[in-house]
């Protein structure tokens, strides 16, 4: 696949070069010239230094939410980067801006918004969430933002940036919001996370909607990590309850640079009511002059944004539709399958115990031995296994801290002699993990 992609990229670069030459010959300014020997040295050193990365491209890596982009995506990104379009205004990148405008209806339809929406790509999910909370402040300037203790830490940080008060809502052991702990009249927006970054948990959107609608509270969905799992909402691989209700939310954020196969950074934000565009209104004396059409910078907090991001995502969506049986659906199904198989293997293991059953593709577990009685022993074993994989480069995991009280609820047989328990965590976000999971578990067990 890669050799074919290289061939396509080379051909495309040559085609673009002919287009560039059609404007007339000119010489590159001498200030931009680099000695060929020097550039060769730089790239030789660069290649060696890049090998210092962890193997994000390989299923042996199951540590963090990191993986290589699809070949189609990085090739399209590289192609567009040779021109360097800017999607802030149509003047900066007419074709890439049009591609972004074609992408957003696809995402809106995927999440159930249909034809009526406002949205654009962002440089990250964090920026997308910032925009959603900024709109919330515009609509409810004196009210708080509420989110669960499992929400991404940046929500609290963004509230500080925006000068807004926030409130954390407890989640009980059944995964439900404990709304009795907050005063509804004080809340302007409730953030619901579909796919938490820690455990990959899906918060109950049905419960949140019922409470929010009863109190005229906006709903913002942070599905930066989990959003593309909506492609499986009608399958029997996940609980589709929350995923089928996403269109009821006021705004949605998703990160295509996670499960969307894209290079960093590519996020997206969508608003159900396009009238929120009025809050973005601004005037620039130089930016908009070639077209009366909507410029993406008119509906974005960001100014300069890489047009290559839109080009890469557009090209990927042409090859991988947002469907259950075609494109993204089969990819996400493999990731989910890896987690389910891994959970079954761990449940029958004499050396590993699952912390909780995975809801998406994030698997958490801990090593045990015959003498394991305390949570401190679990933490020590977890760190040893983690380091063993790193040292041997036989597997790459991540460590995850769990409050001892939460751990004791699910595993009461262990003595909580420390405040937190360190366990192991595997993010199985490559479809290749479905075939590799048995070998991965075997390697982890052999390290105990």
127 and 250 together in one domain: yes
310 and 336 together in one domain: no
274 and 409 together in one domain: no
Assign 3-class secondary structure to the chain: CHHHHHHHHHHHHHHHHHHHHCCCCCCCCHHHCCCHHHHHHHHHHHHHHHCCCCCCCCCCECCCCCCCCCHHHHHHHHHHHCCCCECCCHHHCHHHHHHHHHHHHHHHHHCCCCCCCEEEEECCHHHHHHHHHHHHHHHCCCCEEEEECCCCCHHHHHHHHHCCCEEEECECCCCCECHHHCCHHHEEEEEEEECCCCCCCECCHHHHHHHHHHCCCEEEEECCCCHHHHHHCCCCCCCCCCHHHHHHCCEEEECCCCCCCCCCCCEEEEECCHHHHHHHCCCCCCCCCCCCCCCHHHHCCCCCCEHHHHHHHHHHHHHCCECCCCEHHHHHHHHHHHHHHHHHHHHCCCCEEEEECCCCCEEEEEECCCCCCEHHHHHHHHHHHHHHHHHHCCCECEEEEEEHHHHHHHCCCCECCCCEEEEEEEECCCCCHHHHHHHHHHHHHHCC
315 and 351 together in one domain: no
22 is a domain residue: no
179 is a domain residue: yes
Domain count, the chain: 2
42 is a domain residue: no
pLDDT score for 90 = 84
390 is a domain residue: yes
Range of the domain at 375: 328-446
371 and 305 together in one domain: no
396 and 301 together in one domain: no
250 and 347 together in one domain: no
- Of 319, 350, 367, the residue at which a domain comes to its end is 319
291 and 386 together in one domain: no
Q: Which CATH number is 133's domain given?
A: 3.40.640.10
349 and 391 together in one domain: yes
417 and 299 together in one domain: no
- Of 273, 293, 319, the residue at which a domain comes to its end is 319
245 is a domain residue: yes
pLDDT score for 1 = 55
374 is a domain residue: yes
125 and 225 together in one domain: yes
136 and 263 together in one domain: yes
Q: What are the average pLDDT values for consecutive 10-residue runs of the chain, which has 448 residues?
A: 84 95 94 96 97 97 97 97 92 94 97 95 96 97 97 96 97 96 97 97 98 98 98 98 98 98 97 91 52 70 93 98 98 98 98 98 96 96 98 97 96 96 98 98 97
Q: Which CATH number is 423's domain given?
A: 3.90.1150.10
26 is a domain residue: no
């Amino acid at each position: 696949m890669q050799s074919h992609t290289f061939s396509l990229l080379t051909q495309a670069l040559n085609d673009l070069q002919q287009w560039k030459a059609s404007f007339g010959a000119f010489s590159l300014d001498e200030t931009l010239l680099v000695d060929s020997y020097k550039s060769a040295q730089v790239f030789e050193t660069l290649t060696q230094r890049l090998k210092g990365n962890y193997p994000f491209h390989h299923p042996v890596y199951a540590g963090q939410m990191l993986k290589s982009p699809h070949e189609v995506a990085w090739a399209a990104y590289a192609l567009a980067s040779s021109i360097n379009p800017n999607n802030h205004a149509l003047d900066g990148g007419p074709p890439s801006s049009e591609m972004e405008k074609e992408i957003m209806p696809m995402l809106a339809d995927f999440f159930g918004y249909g034809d009526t929406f406002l949205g654009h790509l962002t440089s990250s999910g964090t920026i997308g969430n910032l925009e959603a909370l900024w709109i919330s402040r515009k609509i409810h300037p004196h009210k708080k933002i509420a989110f669960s203790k499992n929400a991404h830490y940046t929500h609290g940080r963004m509230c500080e940036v925006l000068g807004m008060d926030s409130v954390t809502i407890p989640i009980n052991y059944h995964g439900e919001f404990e709304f009795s702990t907050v005063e509804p009249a004080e809340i302007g927006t409730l953030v619901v996370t579909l796919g938490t970054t820690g455990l990959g948990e899906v918060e109950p959107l049905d419960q949140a909607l019922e409470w929010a609608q009863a109190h005229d509270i906006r709903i913002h969905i942070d599905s930066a990590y989990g959003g593309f799992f909506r492609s499986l909402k009608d399958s029997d691989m996940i609980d589709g309850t929350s995923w089928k209700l996403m269109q009821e939310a006021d705004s949605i954020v998703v990160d295509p640079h996670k499960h969307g196969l894209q290079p960093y950074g590519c996020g997206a934000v969508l608003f159900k009511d396009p009238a929120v565009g009025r809050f973005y209104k601004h005037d620039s004396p130089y930016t908009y002059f070639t077209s009366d059409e909507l410029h993406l910078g008119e509906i974005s907090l960001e100014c300069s944004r890489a047009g290559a991001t839109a080009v890469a995502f557009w090209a990927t969506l042409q090859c991988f539709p947002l469907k259950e049986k075609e494109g993204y659906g089969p990819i996400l199904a493999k990731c989910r399958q890896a987690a389910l198989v891994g959970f079954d293997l761990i449940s029958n293991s004499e050396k590993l115990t699952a912390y909780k059953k995975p809801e998406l593709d994030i698997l958490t577990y801990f090593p045990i031995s015959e003498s394991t009685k305390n949570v401190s022993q679990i933490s020590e074993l977890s760190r040893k296994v983690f380091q063993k994989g790193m040292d041997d480069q036989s597997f790459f995991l991540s460590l995850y801290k769990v409050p001892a009280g939460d751990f004791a609820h699910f595993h009461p047989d262990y003595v909580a002699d420390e405040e937190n328990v360190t366990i192991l965590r595997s993010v199985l976000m490559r479809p290749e993990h479905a075939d590799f999971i048995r070998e991965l578990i075997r390697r982890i067990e052999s390290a105990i």
